[in-house]
Amino acid sequence: MAAEAHAPTASEYIVHHLQHLQNIKQKSIVDFSVVNYDSVIVGLVLGFLALFVFWRAARKATSGVPGRFQAAVEILVEMVDNQAKANIHNAESRKFIAPLALTVFVWIFIMNAMDMLPVDLLPMLWQGATGDGHAYLRVVPTADLSTTLGLSTAVLILCFYYSVKIKGVGGWAHELVTAPFGTSKNPVFALILGVVNLLMQIIEYVAKTVSHGMRLFGNMYAGELVFMLIALMGGAAAMSLSGVLLPVGHIIAGSIWAIFHILVITLQAFIFMMLALIYLGQAHEAH
């Protein structure tokens, strides 16, 4: 009986915490029938929270001396607007892209910040609410590859949209078969160069989209793993009487990583936003 009630090992603990709350069990690396409910629900809730922050800032905005909250929002808006002007030279496009970039930055920052919560807090609350001690729940949507690739794919679709809107269907199609190696007056060479150029363009779009999503996912996934390892140090400290220095190491390591991780979650949100602006800016440029 005691053997059946044993505490999970370190590997079992990590594997359990890396499982999503899903509609069905994932059977392959790529399975579009699987929905990670936790990432979707937490992402939507945090998205509405970001919108609420913007709404509250706009509602309380005054023309006089701004308060600290309004000043912080104004600094953030100005920073994003400056980056949008530097990358998007079309003023009409900036009316949509600049607010979008601001929303993306704040939304991703809030999703990343879920990593700062205690590792077991929300999963244990969820297990208590469901009555299932083995219920799965992951609370960092950006540590889910489905979320980050979904965001980067949305940026790709916008790039296609602005490529057609700015250059026209014919202009964009001509660019796809003439850049980066140009074309030739010889029909045979022109056909060969056209195929090569098109393949290079496809590779470029795929590489940008995958790297855009993978960069955010990789950093947040690694951060999540580190917090789990630090949590295991605390668990080992609670179970050990001989490891006198282990609780001290747990507190020190947790504090240092939490402080460093504040920079990570901010930087990753900024990098994702900047890459989105750069890619959308490239969609406006003729090659």
**Please, is 35 exposed, middle or buried when counting C-beta atoms within 10 Å of its C-beta (0-12, 13-18, 19+)?**
middle
Question: How far, in Å, CA of 99 to CA of 264, rounded?
Answer: 23
Question: Closest by alpha carbon to 139, among 158, 116, 159, 157?
Answer: 116
Burial 182-201 (b: 16+ CB within 10 A, else e): ebeeeeeeeeebbeebeeeb
* Of 215, 240, 242, 255, catalytic: 215
Query: Which token pair is 117?
Result: 């919560």
Which residue of the set 93, 112, 163, 219 is catalytic?
219
* DSSP at 25: -
Q: Judge whether 56 counts as a catalytic residue.
A: no
23, 186, 211, 240: which one is catalytic? 211
Distance, in Å, from the CA atom of 84 to the CA atom of 280, rounded to the nearest integer, reads: 10
Catalytic residues, which ones?
211, 215, 219
